[in-house]
Amino acid sequence: MRDYGRFLWRCARISFVGDWRYHTWMLTLSVIALLGLNAYAKQLVDGLATTGMTDQVSWGLYIANFTFLVGMAAAAVMLVIPVYVYGKHEMHELVVFAELLAVAAIVMCLLFVTVDLGRPDRFLHLFQRFNFPISMLTWDVVVLNGYLLLNMHICGYLIYCAYKKRKPGKWFYYPFVIVAIGWAISIHTVTAFLYVGLGGRPFWNSAIIVPKFLASAFAAGPAFIMLTLQLIRYFTDHKVPQGAIRLLQNIVTVALTIDLFLLGSELFTEFYADSHHISSLVYLWFGKDGYHALVPWIWTSVAMSVTALLIFYLPTKRSMFFVNIACVLLIVGIWIEKGMGLVIPAFVPSPLGEIVEYVPTLNETLVCFGIWAFGLMIYTIFVRITIPVLSGQLTHDRIYHTEVATDSATHPPTEGSLS
Partner 1 sequence: MNQGTPQPRVDRFRGHRFSAYFVAPVFFALAAWFWFGPELETLPEANDTSVHASLLSTEPHRTILGDPPRVHVNGFDRTCMECHRLFQSEEAKTQKLLQHEHIRMEHGPNVDCYICHDAEDRDQLTLGNGVTTKFTDVVSLCARCHPSIVDDWKLGSHGRTNGYWSADRGEVRKLVCTECHDPHAPRTPAMSKIEPLPAPNGWRQGNPAPDHHDSHGHKRDPLREALRRASEHHESHDK
Partner 2 sequence: MSADTQQQQKPGVSRRSFFRGALGAAGGMAAVTTALKPLLEFDTSEYTLEGFLQRHYKEMTPEELDAALARIAEAVEKRYEVRPELRDVKPMDGVEFGYALNLSRCIGCRKCVHACVAENNQSRSPEIQYIRVLEMPRGSIDMEKGDHAYDRPTVPDADHFYMPVQCHQCANPPCVKVCPVEATWSEDDGIVVIDYDWCIGCRYCEAACPYWARRFNFAEPQIPKEDINPDMSYLSNRPRQKGVMEKCHFCLHRTREGKLPACLEVCPVGARKFGNLLDPKSEVSQILRTKHVFVLKEEVGTLPRFFYYFDDDYHGERK
C-alpha–C-alpha distance, residues 214 and 417, integer Å: 47
CA dihedral (173, 175, 181, 187) positive or negative: negative
Total residues contacting partner 1 by CB under 8 A comes to 56
Q: Of 252, 205, 220, 261, nearest to 101 (Cα)? A: 220
Q: Are 346 and 203 in contact (CB under 8 A)?
A: yes
C-alpha–C-alpha distance, residues 346 and 196, integer Å: 11
50 binds partner 1 (CB under 8 A): yes
Cα angle 311, 315, 318 (rounded to 5 degrees) comes to: 85
287 binds partner 1 (CB under 8 A): no
CB 54 to partner 1: min, Å = 5
For residues 245-304, which are near partner 2 according to CB under 8 A? 276, 279
411 binds partner 2 (CB under 8 A): yes
Residue type, 327: C
C-alpha–C-alpha distance, residues 165 and 397, integer Å: 9
What does 136 bind: partner 2, partner 1, none (CB cut-off 5 to 8 Å by kind)?
Answer: partner 2
The mark string for 51-70 relative to partner 1 (x by CB under 8 A, - otherwise) is: -x-xxx--------------
23 binds partner 1 (CB under 8 A): yes
What does 1 bind: partner 1, partner 2, none (CB cut-off 5 to 8 Å by kind)?
Answer: none
C-alpha–C-alpha distance, residues 195 and 176, integer Å: 29
392 binds partner 1 (CB under 8 A): yes
DSSP 190-209: HHHHHHHT-TT-TTT--TTH
CB 215 to partner 1: min, Å = 32
Cα 40–chain centre separation? 21
For residues 365-384, which are near partner 1 according to CB under 8 A? 384
238 binds partner 1 (CB under 8 A): yes
24 binds partner 1 (CB under 8 A): yes
Q: Of 136, 138, 256, nearest to 204 (Cα)? A: 136
C-alpha–C-alpha distance, residues 288 and 257, integer Å: 29
378 binds partner 2 (CB under 8 A): no
- When binding is defined by CB under 8 A, the residue of 8, 27, 314, 409 that contacts partner 2 is 27
Contact residues toward partner 1 (CB under 8 A) are: 16-20, 22-24, 27, 30-31, 34-35, 38, 46, 49-50, 52, 54-56, 92-93, 158-159, 161-162, 165, 167-168, 235-238, 289-291, 355-357, 359, 361-363, 384, 387-388, 390-393, 395, 401-404
